[in-house]
Amino acid sequence: MKKYGSYKSIKKSMNEYTFILPAFLFLVIFILYPVLYNFTLSVKDANLSNFVSGNAPFTGLENYTKVISDPYFKQAAVNMLIFMVFCLSLQFLIGMLLALFFNMQFAGAKWMRALVLVGWMNPVIISGSTFKWLLSGDNGVVNYLLMKIGLIHSPIAFLTQPGIALFSVTAANIWVGVPFNMILLLAGMQSLPLEIYEAASIDGAGKIKSFFTITLPLLKPTISILLMMGIINSFKVFDLIYIMTKGGPARSSQILPYYSYELSFQSYKFGEGAVVSVLIFIFVMVFASFYLHMTQKEGD
């Protein structure tokens, strides 16, 4: 009887593991293996001639030294920082304002909210192509309107001028990300208990004071999630830049993901391209670990 009971226990455990097997295989094949392969590739001199054969010589940390000392890497890292700071801050600010607006009860709120979400639901290729057309220096709508109202006398090269191209791409990415920020913040606001606001109103607190003393503190978990996801998503932006500027002019709008693409698929330096991906991965993992540690500490 003891052996039969043990057999039933093992069979039950096997049945339970069978349910998680597809998810486990998915993680191993599509996440763990590519990450490990990328780490392996980053310490090899992999190029077009030896990549397919798999005979790339081991070079250790030489690729890391080359990439970190490359001035183009430093320029891409600075652009990445500028791009990320502007996107995170403005996406959050505009998203918060829209969330506060749609948190009010008025006719047509649902329809207007649905229209705002269009920018987030659209494929990036559509958003990028639309902004490329709007900001075109030859026949762009933005230049036409600015000249029509007399703010400028000649077209501005939004996408081909070094000092402006990065901010043009940033504006497009802000437009793509604002709806996501708005919907999460709005959901957070609508989950807050109304009794707290009623008590604050009785104590004489106005709407502005209630926002800073009640809404913002209670939305801290939601804001933290938005910050973490915003940083991760910033390191995933590639298609928008590829469509609008291709990293130009003169690499002025090139950020780290596009720099990695350029090294791997234009210069065919697969090892150095893998290094950039590894550095991005390490940064995101360190930040995510720090975030989880801080949230766990606050929970305790």
User: pLDDT tens-digit profile of 240-259?
Assistant: 999 999 998 999 999 999 99
Tell me the whole-structure pTM to 2 decimals: 0.89
Is residue 70 scored above 90 in pLDDT?
yes
Name the H helices within the chain: 2-27, 33-42, 62-69, 71-102, 109-116, 118-121, 124-134, 141-148, 162-190, 194-202, 207-210, 216-218, 220-234, 239-244, 256-265, 270-299
**CATH number of the structural domain spanning residue 152:** 1.10.3720.10
Return all residues near 262 (Cβ < 8 A) that are at least 6 apart.
Answer: 247, 254, 273
Q: What is the pLDDT of residue 1?
A: 47
- Mean of per-residue pLDDT scores for the chain: 89
CA angle 27, 124, 36 (to 5 degrees): 25
Residue 127: name the closest of 174, 192, 196 by CA: 174
Residue 96: name the closest of 174, 189, 172 by CA: 189
Angstrom distances, CA of residue 48 to CA of 52, 53, 55, 276, 299 = 8, 10, 11, 18, 50
User: Is residue 128 assigned to a domain?
Assistant: yes
For the chain, how many structural domains are there in total? 1
| Percentage of the chain lying above the pLDDT 90 cut | 58
Over the stretch 113-124, which tens digit does the pLDDT of each residue have? 888 888 788 889
CB atoms within 10 A of CB 270: 23
Is residue 174 scored above 80 in pLDDT?
yes
Average pLDDT estimate for 135-152: 90
Domain extent, residue 157, equals: 76-255
User: Is residue 24 assigned to a domain?
Assistant: no
Yes or no: say if 64 and 275 are a contact pair by the CB < 8 Å rule: yes
User: Is residue 270 assigned to a domain?
Assistant: no
Residue identified by tokens 């502007």 is: 86
Average pLDDT estimate for 207-213: 89
Is residue 20 scored above 80 in pLDDT?
yes
| Percentage of the chain lying above the pLDDT 70 cut | 94
Is residue 101 scored above 70 in pLDDT?
yes
User: Is residue 10 assigned to a domain?
Assistant: no
Cα 200 to chain centroid, rounded = 37
User: Is residue 194 assigned to a domain?
Assistant: yes
Yes or no: say if 128 and 107 are a contact pair by the CB < 8 Å rule: no
Q: Which residues pair with 44 in a beta bridge?
A: 58
Q: What is the DSSP letter of 56?
A: P
User: Is residue 290 assigned to a domain?
Assistant: no
Kindly report the backbone phi and psi dihedral angles of residue 94, in degrees, each rounded to the nearest multiple of 5, phi listed first.
-65, -40
User: Is residue 52 assigned to a domain?
Assistant: no
CB atoms within 10 A of CB 160: 17
User: Is residue 46 assigned to a domain?
Assistant: no
